[in-house]
Every structure is written in C-alpha cells, then in structure tokens.
C-alpha cells in the first residue's frame, strides 16, 4: 500500500505546523495506522531553520501526551511540491505564499478545508498560553477529521 504523504505548513515552522505534524502522527499511531502515512512540516520562511518548535508548542503538546521536542524547523523546498501528496497550509496567507513559490502545484490546500472545518488556524506566536491551547484544540479537531477522511474512523 502506498503511503499518503502530508506536509503541514505555517510561516516559521515553530508553532502551528509542528503541532499539526505531532498531533496527526500521534492520532495515526493510536489508530494503528502509522504505516499508512508519511508526515512532515515546514515553514514558508527560513527564520527558524534548525530550531526546535516554540517552547509553548512543545509544552501544550506534552500536556496531551504528544512529544514534538525532537522536530526541527525547516523551510519549504521546491522538491516538496512533488514529494508530498498533500501540502496543508495553516492559513490563507500561507496558501498564497505557497502558490507564489509553486503556482502550478495542485496539492496545496488550506488545512481547514482539507479537515472539513473551513477555518484558518491562527498564528499564536505573539499570544499567550491560551492562544496555544486554542490552536492545539483546533488542530486536534482538524487532524481527527482528516484522519477520518482517510478511513480511520477509529481515531481517538
């Protein structure tokens, strides 16, 4: 069976996209479906390349049993547009940035559209812990719906 490859993308790859990667990977593992997916994350900008996720993202993930501390930020690469089945941007600005980089890519979608919520995931970087909690909750809801869309209805 071919693995479905998903790349979660935000601006700097330290807040939202590492959380999405960690949550989706965790849910797939809980559902016994890890082997069905290849999951990664990236940013449209390279300001934080090589850095771990924001300490608040690490903390909120850890609170729910998800470990993202080993992840390292990276900038999206041209090769990603052909390497991944789905490139899921956290907000409409990220979608626009991705389309500027690869205007003909047909695999770029808004995370909220792919997950069935239709919403942007707000950037919590300049917020406080409650903003990271809200982002975690929205990503969890979206990742559950996304996993269910792939036939994994037993995702917890």
Catalytic residues: 10, 16, 123
Residues in the chain: 156
Distance CA 20, CA 40 (A): 9
Q: Which residues contact 147 (CB under 8 A, 6 or more apart)?
A: 24, 27, 28, 31, 33, 155
């Amino acid at each position: 069976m071919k693995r479905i490859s998903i790349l979660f993308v935000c601006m700097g790859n330290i807040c939202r996209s590492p959380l999405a990667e960690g949550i989706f990977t965790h849910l797939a593992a809980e559902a016994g479906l890890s082997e069905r997916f290849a999951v990664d994350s990236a940013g449209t900008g390279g300001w934080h390349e090589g850095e771990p996720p924001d300490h608040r993202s690490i903390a909120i993930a850890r609170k729910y049993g998800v470990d993202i501390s080993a992840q390292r930020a990276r900038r999206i690469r041209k090769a990603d547009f052909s390497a991944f089945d789905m490139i899921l941007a956290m907000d409409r600005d990220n979608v626009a940035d991705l389309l500027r980089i690869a205007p003909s890519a047909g695999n770029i979608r808004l995370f909220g559209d792919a997950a069935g919520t239709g919403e942007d995931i707000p950037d919590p970087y300049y917020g406080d812990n409650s903003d990271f909690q809200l982002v975690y909750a929205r990503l969890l809801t979206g990742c559950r719906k996304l996993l269910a869309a792939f036939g994994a209805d037993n995702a917890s």
